[in-house]
Amino acid sequence: MKLEHITQAYIRISSAIKSTPVMTSQTLNELVNASVFVKAENLQKGGAFKFRGAYNAISLLSADAKKKGIVTHSSGNHAQAVAIVGSMLSIPTTIVMPKNAPQVKVEATTGYGATVVYSENSIEAREKACNELIEKHGYTLIHPYDNEDVIAGAGTTAIELVDEVGELDYLVVPIGGGGLSSGTSLYAKLSGKIRKVIGAEPEMADDAYRSLKANKLVTSHTPTTIADGLRTLLSERTFGYIRDNVDEIITVTEEQIKSAMKFYWERMKLVVEPSGAVPLALLRNNVSKFDENSRIGVIISGGNIDLTDFFHQL
């Protein structure tokens, strides 16, 4: 992929996306002795960065493909993004969701007008259900991350961050399927405006970390992390981009993720889901990895979290 693919994606989607704010915290800056810029994609349409890639990929489809409809598989945020774009562009939309998907994300997806089809919880089951729908109805698959146009759309997050705050020494991004880390690390290396990209991953879903160490794609994966959006495996495509452009992957514990969520909620008044808090967890617990007085970008990937139990207790 070339830099122009990401910059053209930004031009294509700019009128549809929200230009999400960049937040700062004096407490956080003092903790790491650096200037930290938090890109709040939890405030994006659909509550996650996923809207960027979904809109870019779907808007490029032919008129015939749009008429037949689109399908994807997702545990939540990509599902909502595709459902929103389908509604905006009047495209029939079907989402395959695992039975263990958070209810708040299921309800949001159907609320945007998509048809939800449930599958077993494994990636293989999701893909099988998608393939059966494609064969039966002629739908076009909008993959959550194994798609060049989705990756380019995700990369626009870094463009917007740099445009607002200037060049960065570090960018910390979460890694699940690898779409966001692929797109933003590509932009970093191709533009020269971000010196290093650090990938953040839960210890309990560390396939990207293990893949990078082994220099080959690790496919054995039984994640149980609270960060449900990061339970997916890399694809060969995203692994290749991450191997070539992400400087390091660091894992964090479940308690560190929860503590980062609490920090966002209490100190910055931001509702952040576990997956979105993983980069902050990395930063807070690995201060020595970052140069003093550096400029650090942190991406909150999403804010869709089920608060039903919390409100039931009130």
**Banded pLDDT at 121 (limits 50, 70, 90):** confident
Q: What is the pLDDT of residue 178?
A: 96
What is the rounded CA–CA span in Å between residue 263 and residue 300?
13
Tokens for 62? 């032919």
* Weakest-pLDDT range from 29-33, 86-90, 221-225, 231-235: 221-225
Q: What is the pLDDT of residue 313?
A: 59
Summarize the confidence of residues 150-176 as an average pLDDT: 98
What is the rounded CA–CA span in Å between residue 51 and residue 99?
23
Q: What is the pLDDT of residue 158?
A: 98
Q: What is the pLDDT of residue 314?
A: 57
Q: How far apart are the first and last CA of the chain?
A: 50
Q: What is the pLDDT of residue 101?
A: 76
Name residues whose C-beta falls within 8 Å of residue 53's C-beta, 6 or more positions apart in sequence. 78, 81, 145, 147, 149, 150, 151, 152, 153, 154, 179, 183
75 is catalytic: yes
Answer yes or no: is pLDDT of 52 > 80: yes
What is the rounded CA–CA span in Å between residue 183 and residue 153?
7
**Banded pLDDT at 310 (limits 50, 70, 90):** low
Sheet holding 115-119, edge to edge: 115-119, 93-98, 70-73, 140-141
Of 52, 49, 129, nearest in space to 94 by CA: 129
Summarize the confidence of residues 14-37 as an average pLDDT: 97
- Asked if 229 and 305 touch (Cβ cutoff 8 Å), the reply is no
Q: Report pLDDT digits (tens) over 174-188.
A: 999 999 999 999 999
Name residues whose C-beta falls within 8 Å of residue 27's C-beta, 6 or more positions apart in sequence. 267
Q: What is the pLDDT of residue 208?
A: 96
**Domains identified in the chain and CATH numbers:** 3-49+151-309 (3.40.50.1100), 51-141 (3.40.50.1100)
Answer yes or no: is pLDDT of 3 > 90: yes
Name residues whose C-beta falls within 8 Å of residue 77's C-beta, 6 or more positions apart in sequence. 46, 47, 48, 50, 105, 229, 301, 302, 304
Helix (H) or strand (E) holding 40: strand 35-40
Summarize the confidence of residues 59-73 as an average pLDDT: 96
Answer yes or no: is pLDDT of 214 > 90: yes
pLDDT over 70, % of the chain: 98
Which candidate in 39, 45, 50, 105 is catalytic? 50
Summarize the confidence of residues 124-134 as an average pLDDT: 91
Answer yes or no: is pLDDT of 220 > 80: no
Q: What is the pLDDT of residue 106?
A: 83
Tokens for 163? 């445009």
105 is catalytic: no
- Asked if 279 and 256 touch (Cβ cutoff 8 Å), the reply is no
Q: What is the pLDDT of residue 311?
A: 65
Q: Are strands 115-119 and 35-40 parallel, antiparallel or unpaired?
A: unpaired
Answer yes or no: is pLDDT of 47 > 70: yes
Helix (H) or strand (E) holding 3: helix 3-13
Answer yes or no: is pLDDT of 247 > 60: yes
* Weakest-pLDDT range from 58-62, 189-193, 306-310: 306-310
- Average pLDDT for the chain: 94
List, as one string, the DSSP characters of 133-198: HHHHH-PEE--SSSSHHHHHHHHHHHHHHHHHH--EEEEEEE-SSSHHHHHHHHHHHHHS-EEEEE
Which candidate in 45, 74, 75, 196 is catalytic? 75
**Banded pLDDT at 309 (limits 50, 70, 90):** low
